[in-house]
């Protein structure tokens, strides 16, 4: 073997040693996190820290491009970075064995710091998984690098090399197998702790509402293929949040505290307390501020929950218009998320809810089980706290919640929007009558008019399906007599305040996208 080749081969073995050490470190950390808590694992902690530091525009871009897969993409990215760093440290270990091993341990310290910094971290024990992982990974790399660099002394050179390489391979293989077992056991333990919450959710019996949802008029659901269904099934409902591990809380563990400025009687509610209240059922359309014009982050569901305004009144809270001192309600979730809503809006008579049910079942975990907040008319990030556990009354001056710290607006009513669901962009409908259809929303104001424009022609009124309530979206349709060629279809809506959607396109940051949705299709 030429000398260069020997060097290269050894570097590759060293890279493998680094990779296996890193792998075993992560696996050990995963196993330990099962005893501490699942969220304390380094991947979740570092990923969470990365999400919190991602600039609003990049986060928005990720949501837009990866949708609900944004978290998978992020974790895959982190794994690739860790793998590359580990291989680099492996190569380094050929020359500087102690330094490289210390480097691996240092990553454990980084993971531990990330875990302690998470908003839901309450104890130093969160640092343990990463520290143990880093220690194991460091020791492992030290040992493996030792086997790689050992000089066959008193023995005859060739035999010694073969012997050392075999020891190296056996040790590396054992570390890989051990890591896989530890990681597997850790995963299994972590998912069994979620099993309690799954059983708890399955045991929930939702009470009947004292006030059922206003009947949805016949005809609210158009019979046009391709239009979004009036009620979005739970499995299709969009999901936007920062949780890398979906919080799994049992109803028994859950409680909600209402406290803060202007609260005369602090409240603490258990899940049973909440179910014993008079629950109401309402159809409410929820929208994400990150929804682009024409985007998918809007859905309509039938929610069951307690009136938030009544609970606040029982706590002695008054809205600012009636002399209350707190103008901001900050909701906090079990994973440390904070969302701030105007107290005035929550108490102005609209159906602001502490919801427990979604489309006839307990909230799905992804959508906030056991309890979430909803305020008709406000974007999700200023109202719809999932996995809620705390409500604090404060002022907008005194506190900026999570998204506001990241350049989003303090107050964000949902902007009036219309979306073309069918035909799809670049669709090829047949000439003749083509049903153009979609949805329009202006929650809590209501939609009064939807108009369609073909190319640069005049605005023509679309047929509006009957309104369920002004908190829900409305379907619309327009029979378009399509002539051959490529055409641009544009839609715009007018809400009940008389305001027509502005043509001016804005980005989603800071308070939601504006502009008209259009699609280009070719009729032939
Ligand atoms: N705990 C928590 N609640 C949250 C969020 C979050 O990241 N964490 N995201 C909010 C945002 S931005 C939106 S748009 C809605 C989305 O609710 P959904 O995922 O049920 O559709 O939840 C809101 N509630
Ligand atoms: Mo959102």
Backbone angles phi, psi at 47, to 5 degrees: -60, -45
Using CA atoms, how far apart are residues 97 and 143, in angstroms rounded to an integer? Answer: 9
Atom of ligand 1 nearest to the CA of 247: 1
232 token code pair: 């979005």
470 token code pair: 């002004």
Mark whether 368 and 489 lie in a shared domain: no
298 token code pair: 């809007």
- The response to whether residue 336 sits with its C-beta less than 6 Å from ligand 1 reads no
pTM: 0.89
Mark whether 29 and 152 lie in a shared domain: yes
Our count of domains for the chain comes to: 3
| CA nearest to 178, candidates 18, 27, 29 | 27
- The response to whether residue 380 sits with its C-beta less than 6 Å from ligand 1 reads yes
Asked if residue 211 is part of any domain, the answer here is no
For the chain, first and last CA: distance in Å? Answer: 68
Residue 216: which residues within 8 A CB-CB, separation 6 or more? 230, 283, 468
Q: Are 14 and 148 in contact (CB under 8 A)?
A: yes
What's the number of CA atoms in the CB half-sphere (13 Å) around residue 182?
A: 22
**What is the residue with the minimal CA distance to atom 10 of ligand 1?**
381
Mark whether 480 and 516 lie in a shared domain: yes
- The response to whether residue 384 sits with its C-beta less than 6 Å from ligand 1 reads yes
Mark whether 388 and 423 lie in a shared domain: no
Average pLDDT across each block of 10 residues of the chain; the chain has 524 residues. List them in order: 80 96 96 92 92 83 78 90 96 96 96 94 94 97 92 55 78 96 92 90 98 96 96 97 93 98 98 98 97 97 98 98 98 97 98 98 98 98 98 98 95 98 97 98 98 98 98 98 98 98 96 98 96
Mark whether 33 and 144 lie in a shared domain: yes
Q: Are 463 and 469 in contact (CB under 8 A)?
A: no
Domain end (from 174, 199, 224): 199
Domain end (from 369, 387, 406): 406
Write down the pLDDT at residue 158: 55
367 token code pair: 């959508």
The DSSP 8-state label assigned to residue 318 in this structure reads -
325 token code pair: 């001192």
Asked if residue 219 is part of any domain, the answer here is no
Query: Sign of torsion, CA 150 155 156 158?
Result: negative
Asked if residue 296 is part of any domain, the answer here is yes
- The response to whether residue 242 sits with its C-beta less than 6 Å from ligand 1 reads yes
Mark whether 375 and 495 lie in a shared domain: no
Write down the pLDDT at residue 426: 96
H runs (alpha helix) in 150-208: 157-202
Mark whether 391 and 453 lie in a shared domain: no
Q: Which domain holds residue 97?
A: 3-199
169 token code pair: 């391979």
Mark whether 396 and 510 lie in a shared domain: no
Using CA atoms, how far apart are residues 263 and 265, in angstroms rounded to an integer? Answer: 6
Asked if residue 226 is part of any domain, the answer here is no
Mark whether 448 and 374 lie in a shared domain: no
Asked if residue 214 is part of any domain, the answer here is no
Ligand 2 centre to CA of 22 (Å) is: 35
Q: Going edge to edge, which strands form the sheet with 463-464? A: 417-422, 432-441, 474-482, 463-464
H runs (alpha helix) in 213-368: 271-276, 308-314, 343-346
**What is the residue with the minimal CA distance to atom 12 of ligand 1?**
381
- The response to whether residue 333 sits with its C-beta less than 6 Å from ligand 1 reads yes
**Which residue among 235, 241, 387 is best mutated to probe the pocket of ligand 1, counting the most ligand atoms within 8 A of its Cβ?**
241
- The response to whether residue 59 sits with its C-beta less than 6 Å from ligand 1 reads no
Mark whether 7 and 66 lie in a shared domain: yes
Asked if residue 218 is part of any domain, the answer here is no
Q: What is the CATH number of the domain that holds 248?
A: 3.90.420.10
Mark whether 185 and 101 lie in a shared domain: yes
**What is the residue with the minimal CA distance to atom 24 of ligand 1?**
385
Ligand 1 centre to CA of 379 (Å) is: 9
Asked if residue 227 is part of any domain, the answer here is no
Ligand 2 centre to CA of 289 (Å) is: 5
Q: Are 88 and 110 in contact (CB under 8 A)?
A: no
CA angle 132/136/142 to nearest 5° reads 145
Mark whether 293 and 263 lie in a shared domain: yes
Ligand 2 centre to CA of 414 (Å) is: 11
Ramachandran quadrant class, 289 (left: phi over 0; alpha: psi -120 to 50; beta: rest): alpha
Asked if residue 518 is part of any domain, the answer here is yes
Ligand 1 centre to CA of 347 (Å) is: 21
Using CA atoms, how far apart are residues 263 and 27, in angstroms rounded to an integer? Answer: 47
Using CA atoms, how far apart are residues 283 and 471, in angstroms rounded to an integer? Answer: 7
204 token code pair: 């929930």
Write down the pLDDT at residue 69: 80
- The response to whether residue 248 sits with its C-beta less than 6 Å from ligand 1 reads no
Write down the pLDDT at residue 122: 85
CA angle 314/319/325 to nearest 5° reads 100
Domain end (from 358, 383, 406): 406
- The response to whether residue 408 sits with its C-beta less than 6 Å from ligand 1 reads no
Q: What is the dihedral of CA 164, 165, 168, 173, to 10 degrees?
A: -140
Q: What is the CATH number of the domain that holds 437?
A: 2.60.40.650
């Amino acid at each position: 073997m030429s000398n260069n080749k020997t060097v290269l081969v050894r570097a590759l073995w060293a890279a493998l040693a680094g990779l296996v050490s890193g792998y075993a470190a992560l696996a050990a950390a995963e196993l330990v996190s099962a005893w501490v808590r699942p969220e304390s694992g380094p991947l979740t902690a570092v990923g969470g820290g990365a999400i919190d530091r991602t600039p609003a525009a990049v986060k928005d871009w990720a949501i837009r491009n990866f949708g609900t897969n944004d978290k998978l993409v992020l974790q895959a990215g982190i794994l690739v970075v860790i793998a590359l760093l580990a291989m680099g440290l492996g190569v380094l270990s050929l020359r500087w064995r102690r330094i490289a091993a210390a480097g691996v341990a240092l990553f454990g310290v980084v993971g531990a710091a990330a875990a302690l910094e998470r908003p839901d971290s309450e104890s130093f024990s969160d640092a343990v998984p990463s520290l143990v992982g880093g220690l194991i990974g460091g020791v492992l790399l030290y040992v493996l690098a030792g086997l790689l660099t050992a000089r066959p002394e008193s023995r005859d050179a060739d035999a010694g090399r073969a012997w050392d390489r075999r020891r190296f391979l056996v040790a590396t293989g054992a570390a890989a197998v051990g890591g896989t077992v530890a990681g597997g056991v850790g995963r299994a333990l972590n998912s069994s702790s979620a099993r309690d919450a799954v059983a708890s959710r399955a045991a929930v019996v939702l009470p009947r509402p004292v006030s059922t949802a206003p009947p949805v008029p016949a005809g609210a659901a158009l019979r046009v293929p391709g239009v979004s269904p009036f009620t979005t099934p739970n499995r299709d409902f969009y999901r936007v949040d920062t949780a890398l591990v979906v919080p799994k809380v049992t109803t028994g563990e859950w409680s909600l505290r209402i406290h803060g400025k202007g609260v005369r009687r602090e409240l603490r509610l258990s899940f049973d307390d909440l179910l014993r209240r008079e629950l109401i059922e309402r159809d409410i359309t929820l929208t994400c501020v990150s929804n682009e014009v024409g985007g998918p982050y809007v859905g309509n569901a039938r929610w069951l929950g307690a009136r938030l305004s009544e609970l606040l009144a029982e706590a002695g809270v008054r809205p600012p218009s009636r002399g209350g001192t707190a103008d901001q309600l900050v909701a906090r979730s079990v994973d440390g998320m904070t969302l701030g809503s105007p107290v005035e809006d929550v108490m102005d008579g609209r159906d602001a809810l502490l919801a427990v049910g979604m489309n006839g079942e307990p909230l799905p975990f992804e959508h906030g089980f056991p309890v979430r907040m909803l305020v008709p008319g406000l974007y999700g990030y200023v109202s719809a706290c999932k996995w809620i556990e705390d409500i604090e009354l404060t002022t907008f001056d005194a506190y900026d919640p999570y998204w506001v710290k990241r350049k989003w607006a303090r107050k964000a009513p949902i902007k009036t929007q219309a979306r073309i669901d069918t035909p799809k962009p670049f669709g090829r409908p047949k000439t003749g009558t083509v049903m153009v259809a979609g949805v329009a929303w202006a929650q809590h104001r209501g939609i009064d008019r939807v108009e369609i424009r073909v190319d640069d022609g005049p605005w023509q009124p679309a047929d509006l399906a009957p309104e369920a309530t002004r908190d829900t979206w409305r379907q619309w349709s327009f029979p378009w007599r399509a002539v051959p060629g490529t055409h641009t279809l544009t839609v715009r809506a007018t809400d009940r305040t008389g305001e027509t959607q502005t043509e001016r396109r804005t980005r989603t940051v800071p308070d939601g996208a504006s502009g008209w949705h259009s699609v280009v299709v070719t009729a032939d």
